[in-house]
Amino acid sequence: MNLKLSFFLFLLISCFATAQQTITIKGSKPYPATENYTFICEKYALTGEVDVQIAKTEKGGILKLTIATTNDKTRISGGVYVDLVNADVIACLDKNVKETEEGKTTSYYYFTLAEFLKLKKTDIKGIRFIITGNSNAFGNQTGYFTAESKKNYFSTAFDKSKKTFDTAASISLL
């Protein structure tokens, strides 16, 4: 009996460990996605963080950017540039697919199949984006920002662990 219980627990834990994340855009079907990465955005004073997630679609992929805001009029808008480690740049046009809820704004950008194949081979170095909205004395920051693929704000010279996310490995598993 004890063996059956431990086998059942092992099976349950392994199912949760291999569970894949998904992205759903305004009622569309769910797409398989990477984990949610928290990129560092040092110049964004409100949180200093941007949540980044990438999904695979039939025609390429989706980039999901989420950032905390102080009001619902603030948005990530305009084009987005995805900088890769090998110095390639992927320009994403704004298709005006946005969501706002619970103090966060989310924008979605689409990759072509060729761009998605680049993401499978090379890690993301950073993402450049624009925040627009009302600017007042105690409102949100607006302007141009860069979210960098860093795991921590600070590290020492003696820390030899990888300090960036393995985005290419995660994307190639989709």
Q: What's the CATH fold of domain 21-172?
A: Immunoglobulin-like (2.60.40)
Domain boundaries along the sequence of the chain: 21-172
The half-sphere exposure of 118 on its side-chain side, counting CA atoms within 13 A, is 17
pLDDT averaged over the chain? 83
**Which pLDDT tens digit goes with each residue over 13-31?**
444 444 468 887 877 789 9
Sequence-ordered strand ranges (E) for the chain: 21-23, 31-33, 37-40, 49-56, 60-68, 75-84, 89-92, 97-101, 104-112, 124-132, 143-148
Token pair 């305009």 in the structure block, residue: 78
Residue 153, pLDDT > 80, answer no
Residue 34, pLDDT > 50, answer yes
* Per-residue model confidence (pLDDT) at position 14: 41
Q: By the 8 A CB rule, do 109 and 95 touch? A: yes
Average pLDDT over residues 49-62: 93
Single-letter code of the amino acid located at 2: N
Single-letter code of the amino acid located at 105: T
